[in-house]
Amino acid sequence: MQRKHISSGSPFEEQIGYSRAVVHGDWVFVSGTTGFDYASMSISDDVVVQAEQCLKNIQAALEQAGASLDDVVRVNYVLPNGADFEPCWPVLRRYLGRAKPAAMMVIAGLLDPRMKIEIEVTAIKAK
């Protein structure tokens, strides 16, 4: 089975040595994705805006892989501040509400103190 690597163009991928997503057969594994706007390499101070940007970045990677947010079967959320999770729920529901993936939320520090949420997904392409 052939493996395909997807890049968002983020400098982090090159600096650290990973792919935004890896496609293996019908499976798509999207790396933990933060709220950076990769075109401008800027990040909002607002966790809800960051959550939306995370999902836009993930959506773009899934599209490059031939999948969509509706194909997501698993999602992991990482937030340094647990109180920031609930304000994100409407955004998460808007992007993932149809897929209703299995989910987990973890409270943990992130690499850059400006990052308030990181989202990782696994999808399986619809046949």
Q: Please work out, in degrees rounded to the nearest 5, the angle formed at the alpha carbon of residue 35 by the alpha carbons of 29 and 41.
A: 110
Task: Decide if pLDDT at 30 tops 80.
Answer: yes
Give the CA diameter of the chain: 42
Task: Decide if pLDDT at 53 tops 90.
Answer: yes
Angular region, 89: left φ>0, alpha ψ -120 to 50, beta rest? alpha
- Full-model pTM: 0.94
Mean pLDDT of 31-58: 96
Mean pLDDT of 96-112: 97
Which has more confidence, 58 or 41?
Answer: 58
Match 């995370």 to its residue by tokens: 54
34 CB-contact burial (10 Å; exposed 0-12 / middle 13-18 / buried 19+): buried
**Assigned superfamily of 3-124:** RutC-like (3.30.1330.40)
Other Cβ atoms within 10 Å of 46 Cβ, number:
14
